[in-house]
Chains A and B, each alone.
Chain A
Amino acid sequence: MSRQPMSKHSRPMRKPVSRTPAWVPPVAVVAAIALVVAGFLLVRWYTTPQAAPPLTPNAAQLVVNSLAGLPAAELDSIGQGSASNLIKPVSGTPLTGPSGKPLVFYFGAEYCPYCGAERWPIIVALSRFGTFSGLATTSSSSTDIYPNTPTFTFHGSTFTSQYIDFQAVETTDRNQNLLETPTAAQQALVNQYDTSGSIPFVDLGNRFAFAGAMYLPDVLAGMSWEAVAGSLSQPDTTQAKAVIGSANLITAAVCRMTSDQPSSVCTSASIQAIEKKLG
């Protein structure tokens, strides 16, 4: 590029310059970040699973039957799976139900995603000791974390067993409207053993108790009830490892309550191995 010769006394000629105002870069950065965050929110909104309409009673019963009919060999092969062992031994007067059998007491709420996750293994586990009827499908809250987790509600259900009693309190529905109120005795159990105030809370005959879910509800995100049930019949799925692993932990604790009855359930190698871990 050739240069123009300059005379001795003339000043170099410069093209007029324009300085970027100081406020522009920070404002541009903040605006760009706001756009990115808005994009994240949009992605979250699009990927949040919608609540499926509840199944009809007959369709729900088919899913429950599927859970109750999982092969013992598959349950044994999974063992603890990917479940976190939240079960802690507690000491107290042995808890019995109205019929005098050891009592499993559940305390939760329909809106709660952790309760939604934990009901699946509770149903799988207790179905090995008795029979549920009247279980209806529902989803956790659409505005809480892990929204619309597919699950069942214990509200309005019954459980019959020759080994144990089962009582459940669902305090609110999925929109947090009042549903059930615990009795004074049930509230006393919650106060005594659920010191963190977390739900779900499960007392296993005052021999063991746990609060919270043994796996994260996002394992079930976006799935239908039938799809969850279907995945549980395949031992290699994430759902099977989480739900059946949790169910085996609960089963082992119940076996300790029933003095290992029925033996067809409690004497399996995996349940015996888990029982030894329970303390």
Chain B
Amino acid sequence: MRLQLVALLAAVAGVGVSIYLTAVHIAGIPPACPANAAINCEQVLSSAYGVVAGSAVPTSAAGILWFAVSAVLAAIVRLGHSAPVWSRLQLAWSAIGLVTVLFLVYLEIVRLGVVCVWCSVAHALVLLIFLIALPRQLEGRVDA
């Protein structure tokens, strides 16, 4: 349950980071971020991948939604809803987030050649939430 509190805090932090990235995207101002050969937040956020494909919606706006749902799931599990469905839902949701993160990291490294620090913070939070959701599904699992 203590880990679920960590997941809840991570999700809230993720909402904050995503709101910041969405705000700077909409305002058209560069985020506070160093710029060099490997790191360039503005380059990433202003690229074609900075918006959800086929729309003007910033990718970070999807992050707000994902982290908000993650926060709700962590709160439900934290509050003692021990029904396995909630834990499984949390794991499935965080797995979706993790797969999305891997795709975004692929775009940053392979397609753009630069990394956005703020995005990486959000990615790390997704990974943390996934890792917290993971053990609950393995509790009690034994080798036959």
With A17-B142, A40-B105: A29-B110 Cβ-Cβ less than 8 Å: no
Bound Cα distance from A43 to B113, whole angstroms: 11
Contact A40 B40 (CB under 8 A): no
Q: Chain A residue with minimal CB distance to B134?
A: A25
A145: which of B113, B134, B138 is its contact (CB, 8 Å)?
A: B113
The verdict on A62 contacting chain B, using a C-beta distance below 8 Å, is no
The answer to whether B142 and A37 touch across the interface, beta carbons within 8 angstroms, is: no
Q: B138 contacts A33, CB within 8 Å?
A: no
Q: Which residues of A contact B86 (CB under 8 A)?
A: none
A15 interface residue (CB < 8 Å to B): yes
Q: Name the contact of A40 in the complex, choosing from B110, B138, B143, B144 (C-beta under 8 A).
A: B110
Counting contact residues on chain B (CB < 8 A from A), the size range is 20 to 34
The interface bits of chain A over 135-160 (1 if a CB of B lies within 8 angstroms of the residue's CB, else 0) are 00000010111110000000000000
Q: Residue A20 contacts which of B37, B110, B138 (CB distance < 8 angstroms)?
A: B138
Bound together, the chains give a CA A47 to CA B134 distance in angstroms of 35
A44 to B142, CA, bound (A): 41
Q: In the complex, A44→B114 CA distance in Å?
A: 10
Is A18's CB within 8 Å of the partner chain B? yes
Contact A40-B109, Cβ < 8 Å, known A15-B144, A17-B143, A19-B142:
yes
B66 at the A/B interface (Cβ < 8 Å)? no
Q: Say yes or no: A26 contacts B37, CB within 8 Å.
A: no
On chain A, the residues within 8 Å of B130 by CB distance are 29
Interface 0/1 of B127-144, CB less than 8 Å to A: 100110011001001111
Kindly count the residue-residue contacts between A and B in the assembled complex, taking CB atoms under 8 Å apart: 54
Q: Is B110 a contact of A145 with CB atoms below 8 Å? A: no
Chain A contacts of B65 at CB under 8 A?
none
The answer to whether B134 touches A29 (Cβ under 8 A) is yes
| Bound-state Cα–Cα, A48 to B114, Å | 12
Cβ A146 vs Cβ B113 within 8 A: yes
Let me know if A30 is at the binding interface, CB within 8 A: yes
Tell me, rounded to whole Å, the shortest Cβ–Cβ distance linking A128 to chain B. Answer: 31
Distance A4 CA – B114 CA, assembled complex (angstroms): 64
Known: A18-B142, A41-B109. Contact between A145 and B131, CB under 8 A? Answer: no
Which of B102, B110, B130, B142 lies at the interface centre, i.e. has the most chain A CB atoms within 10 A of its CB? B110
Cα distance A22–B137 in the bound complex, in angstroms: 11
- A18-B109 in contact (CB<8A): no
Given A40-B105, A145-B113: A26 in contact with B142 (beta carbons within 8 A): no
Q: Which residue of chain B has its CB nearest to the CB of A23?
A: B135
CB pair A29–B114 under 8 Å, yes or no, is: no
Interface, chain B (partner A; CB < 8 A): 37, 40, 43, 98, 102, 105-106, 109-110, 112-114, 127, 130-131, 134-135, 138, 141-144
Query: Other CB < 8 Å A-B pairs besides A29-B134, A40-B106, A145-B114, 11 of them?
Result: A17-B142, A17-B143, A19-B141, A20-B138, A22-B135, A22-B138, A29-B127, A33-B127, A41-B109, A141-B37, A145-B40
Enumerate the 10 nearest inter-chain pairs by beta-carbon distance, A residue then B residue, closest first: A17-B142, A40-B109, A26-B131, A143-B37, A44-B110, A18-B143, A25-B134, A43-B110, A144-B37, A145-B114
Give A residues with C-beta under 8 Å from B.
15, 17-20, 22, 25-26, 29-30, 33, 36-37, 40-41, 43-44, 47-48, 141, 143-147
A selection of 30 A-B contacts at a CB cut-off of 8 Å is: A15-B144, A17-B143, A18-B142, A19-B142, A20-B138, A20-B141, A20-B143, A25-B134, A25-B138, A26-B131, A26-B134, A26-B135, A29-B134, A30-B127, A33-B98, A33-B127, A36-B102, A37-B105, A37-B109, A40-B105, A40-B106, A40-B109, A40-B110, A41-B109, A44-B109, A141-B37, A145-B37, A145-B40, A145-B112, A147-B113
